Amino acid sequence: MTTPQTPIHSSFGAASTAAEIVKDLDLTGKIAVVTGGSNGLGLETTRALAGVGATVVVPARDVAKATAALAGISNVEVYPMELTDPASIDALATTVLAAHSVLHILINNAGLMTPPLMRDARGYESQFSTNHLGHFQLTGRLWPALKAAHGARVVALSSRGHQFAAVDFDDWNFERHPYDPRRAYGQSKTANALFAVALDARGQRDGVRAFSVHPGGVITDLTKYMSKEALAKSGHLDAEGRPIIDPERNMKSPEQGAATAVWCAVSAELDGMGGVYCENCDIAPALAADSPELLGVRPWATDPAAADRLWTLSEQLTGVTFP
């Protein structure tokens, strides 16, 4: 069943934290995978889920660094993985499936934002490769365990940045036009949202529901390619260079930024729903393409036809088909 892209007026909001989302839950026996789960939003996501009993698998480029960051958090397993390396993704999936036959939650959280032009070994632009294609492959490889959960949820971290660009199916890899890091980021975030639309449509019969999420504006390592001057000019830093926290204006702490992804992963308020773009712990309103509003989702990020077209392209580019 298709879920309307309409707010449901949940019991949480813009200022809610991940810890508040799970406060009354017991996730003992549940298995979760959180990419990028050892820093920024991912770390707070891992902390919240593990804190109420879930076993959280954290794939990481640097296992030693991730293990140190996660010290003191129980129920965490750390394994190596690089999202732009297909062999690394396959190896991680093999390890996870050997350890866990069932996967209840997959949060595709890791990401890259506005770097200079970089390409992976296949020649694919790095933001599209990291943010979308790597997670497409990972989800496909983990599909047997997601299906076995009979009620799994997959959460794709999108962004308000999806407003910057739709997926350019004629030049997604910037081979015909000059590389624009902001446009490339927007395209990859639109791809995250469309992936949730397509995955949910395909996964419903197996009990797998998917959501995409705008976490809010949070200053983390994701902003490493942005200067402090640019962040200050955008209003996200104060005069002393410290992040401004004002969730009603889309500026959040990491704890608040992790809340919507955790809400999508565990909330009973979303039972029987899926395929929608969420923000501020609610389903976001669908807005017109030319809307001046700061938040809300634009039509190119929820279009089922575009989602199907992206799915076909992703299968071709990765060689991955879902069983």
Which active-site residues does the annotation give?
185
Taking the C-alpha atoms of residue 118 and residue 111, their distance in angstroms, rounded to an integer, is: 14
Taking the C-alpha atoms of residue 138 and residue 113, their distance in angstroms, rounded to an integer, is: 20
Q: Could you tell me the end-to-end alpha-carbon distance of the chain, in angstroms, rounded to an integer?
A: 21
Task: Count other Cβ atoms within 10 Å, centred on residue 6.
Answer: 12
Taking the C-alpha atoms of residue 75 and residue 47, their distance in angstroms, rounded to an integer, is: 10
Q: What three-state secondary structure class fits 323?
A: coil
Tokens (6 digits) for 94: 């093999």
CB-CB contact of 302 with 193 (8 Å): yes
CB-CB contact of 214 with 278 (8 Å): yes
Question: In angstroms, what CA-CA distances link 153 with 51, 64, 108?
Answer: 19, 29, 11
Question: Interhelix angle for 134-141 vs 181-203, to 10°?
Answer: 20
Cβ burial, residue 151 (10 Å; 0-12/13-18/19+): exposed
Backbone phi, psi, residue 260, to 5°: -70, -40
Q: What three-state secondary structure class fits 208?
A: coil
Task: Count other Cβ atoms within 10 Å, centred on residue 218.
Answer: 22
